[in-house]
Each structure stands twice: as C-alpha cells, then as structure tokens.
Amino acid sequence: MKSPSNRKLSLWLIILLAGFPQLSETIYSPALPAVTMSLQTSNYLVQWTLSIYFFGFALGVLIWGQASDHIGRRFAMLFGIIVYLFGSLLCLLSPSIIYLLIARMLQAFGASVGSVITQIMVREYFMATERGRVFSSVAVALSFAPAIGPVMGGVLSDYLGWRSNFLALSVMALVILVLSFFSLPETLNLNVNNKNKKISLSQVFKRLITDQHVITSACFIGITNAFTFCFYAEGPFIFINHIGLSSRGYGLLGLFIAAAAILGGGAYRSLQTRLTDEKIIYLGVLISFIGSAFMLSALALHLVGKNNALISILAIMLPFMLISFGSFGLVIPIVLSKALVQYQDCLGRAGALFGLMYYLILSVLTWIMGWLHNHTLWPMPSYFLALSFIMLIMFKMSLKNREKRELCVLQTE
C-alpha cells in the first residue's frame, strides 16, 4: 500500500468529498411536511433543521481547517467523517424535534470537513492553471449533489418513511470513510507548515476581515448557496402543499437543477478562454437576477397554483434553472479559485476562517428565509430578487474600488 503522502488526489474523490455535505442538507427536504406531522411540531421548527445545519457547518469549518494544520489534512478528513456518521445515526434515532436539531448540528459539524479540507487540498495539490478547471467540476458537484438529494429523499420518504434518509446517509458515510482511508493522500507540506505556524489565527483573521476581495467573495458564495438551500427549504411547501405534487414528484425536480448547473459548468469552460473572470462573474450574477425577476413575474401573473400543475412547475423551475446556471455554473468556480490566492502562506487557517465567513452568511440567509415563510408563494421569489440585486450592487462596488486602488498605485509610481 502506498503511503498517504505518495498517493494521487483524484478528481472523483474530490467531487465525492465535496458533494456529500450538500447531499446531506437536501436529501430529506421532500420529507419536511412528514417530519412536521411525525414529530408533532411546526413548519418553522422543521425548517430550522435546515438552518441549524449551517450553524454547525460554520463551526466545523473553523475547527477542522485549523486542526488540519496540526494533524494533517487526511486525518482531519477521516475524523470529520466519523463525527458525521455518528450524527447521522443520531438523526435516525431522534424521538423529538429538539433531538433532531441537536443531531443535525452534530451531523453538519462532521460534514463540514468535506467542504473546507477539500478546498484546502485542491489549493495545495493543483497548480494555479489547473485550479479553475478543478473548482468548476467541484461547483457542478456542489449543485448536483443537493439537486439529486431530493430525488433520492423523495423515493425513500414515500416508500420507507423520512427516517430512511438518515439510514442512507449513515451507509454513505461508512462507504466514504473506507474509500478515504485507502485512497486519500496527505497534501500538507510539513516543512512549509512549520514556518506558517508562526502566523497566528488572529493575524490571519485581521488580514481577511480587512480584505475587500475576500469579504466580497464570501458574500457571493454565501448568497449563491442560499439560492439553492432556500429553494429546498421552501420547495416542499410550494410544490407539495400548494401545487399538489407527491414527495417523489417533488424530488425529481432536482434533476432540472442539476442539468442547469452542468450546463453552467460547460458554459464556464467555454467562456474562460474568451472573457475575463470579471465579465464571467457579472454575466452569472446578471443571469441570476433575470431568473429571479422572471420567477416573481410568473407569480404576479397568477401562473402558479393547483389548477394547472405543469404550468406552475415550469413557472418556478425554469427561472430557478437560470439562477442555478448563473450562480453555480459561472460565479462559484471563479470565486472559489481566486478567493485565497494571496494566502498561500497560511492556507489552512485562511481556508477555515473564509469557510466560517461564508457559511455564517449562508446560515443567516437560510434563517431569514424560514422567518419570511408565511404559507404563501411570495416570500421565496421576492427574497431571491433582493439577494440577486445585492450581488449586482456588490459586484459594481468591488469593481469601482479596485479601479480606485489601481489608480492610486499608478499615481504613486
């Protein structure tokens, strides 16, 4: 058997490790109404099982990223998967909504290792010229996994009940643990890391929090992920309660989202040789804004309701496919690849803090979606339009600030 440091970091393993946390978030989304009835609780508290996932995730990102500087990327990944397995089993056995909330937070804490450590390993292992391509594939996985989750979850919930989702996740965790144990390399360079340990976490935090590029990148990642996870938080109540789909039928809608993300990834690969990164990001944000506007317009035109399920589905799904195409297909690959290029001297700590930043943003945004939930169709489209407009404003402001900095540099020279 090859030693961990001599193994190759394969793209399929990266995609698997980056995708399983996203799958875990949405697989039981079709079962949310059933969970409400089974545990005799409110829709609001059940939606909190999605929001609290990101609080646990944000905490885990900070802990695992920093721990990986001391115990190595490989061991951090293995320990995190074990915690995730334990959390999934607790979710399976939860007797009440309180227990489920606690178990979901623990599950998320373990799952976060798949996000932060994967990104750190990609930045360490691959050359700068390769990272964009790799992160494009990761971005497809990040959108495909939550899209395929409801498909699996819908089938499992309809035939075996909502708890079967967590049984499936437990089995998946065990398989991933075995694969990682035998195939995952160690990418941490101990010689470089010993020098970097002199840089404290507080020093890295001060650099990040005063770096406008990092702040903008964290906001962009938080918002683009919020589109997807707010959709899966509201989706069951829109498509099952308002439009009348079954859990299985709702789950199959995830395939359309996955298709949009894959098309977006292909578009990114085609555009990256023709347009600058800034223009591709702007195009992605603009497409997301247009998709949000179309969704809200469809609602205003009364195209959504139980009278015509097909038109209702298309009126919601086609605009959301545009949002997914623009955000995950065009924005995410560039932002993930470029966010920490100036932090190679402290990548573990910077990656942990950066992940903490955007997952805290994501958790707040998903919590707001739950707070806005009022049993009508209006909150989600309105919220998406507001978020995409904020992204447009932030993009324009970041361009202006960069132009000012470049002008100042020229004047000093």
Enumerate domains of the chain plus CATH numbers: 15-412 (1.20.1250.20)
Distances (CA, A) of 317 to 48, 320, 325: 24, 5, 12
Q: Rounded distance, CA 52 to CA 31, Å?
A: 17
- Cβ atoms of residues 318 and 257 within 8 Å: no
Q: Rounded distance, CA 112 to CA 108, Å?
A: 6
Residue 84's pLDDT is what?
97
291 closest CA partner among 313, 259, 319: 319
- Cβ atoms of residues 168 and 286 within 8 Å: no
Residue 113's pLDDT is what?
92
Backbone angles phi, psi at 2, to 5 degrees: -70, 145
Per-residue pLDDT of the chain (413 residues; tens, 9 = 90+): 444 555 577 778 888 898 888 788 778 777 888 888 888 888 778 878 877 887 888 889 889 988 888 888 899 999 999 999 999 999 999 999 999 999 999 999 999 999 889 888 887 787 766 776 787 777 777 667 777 787 888 888 888 888 999 999 999 999 999 999 998 888 877 555 555 556 777 888 899 999 988 999 999 999 998 998 888 888 888 888 888 888 778 878 878 887 887 888 789 888 988 888 899 999 999 999 999 999 999 998 888 876 788 899 999 999 999 999 999 889 988 898 888 888 877 777 888 888 889 888 988 898 898 888 888 889 999 999 999 999 999 999 888 877 666 555 445 55
Residue 388's pLDDT is what?
96
Q: Rounded distance, CA 263 to CA 298, Å?
A: 23
Residue 195's pLDDT is what?
52
Handedness of CA 255, 256, 257, 261 (dihedral sign): positive
Handedness of CA 217, 218, 221, 222 (dihedral sign): negative
- Cβ atoms of residues 207 and 201 within 8 Å: no
Residue 226's pLDDT is what?
92
Residue 109's pLDDT is what?
95
DSSP code string of 35-58: HHHHTT--HHHHHHHHHHHHHHHH
Residue 3's pLDDT is what?
47
Residue 407's pLDDT is what?
54
The overall pTM is greater than 0.85: no
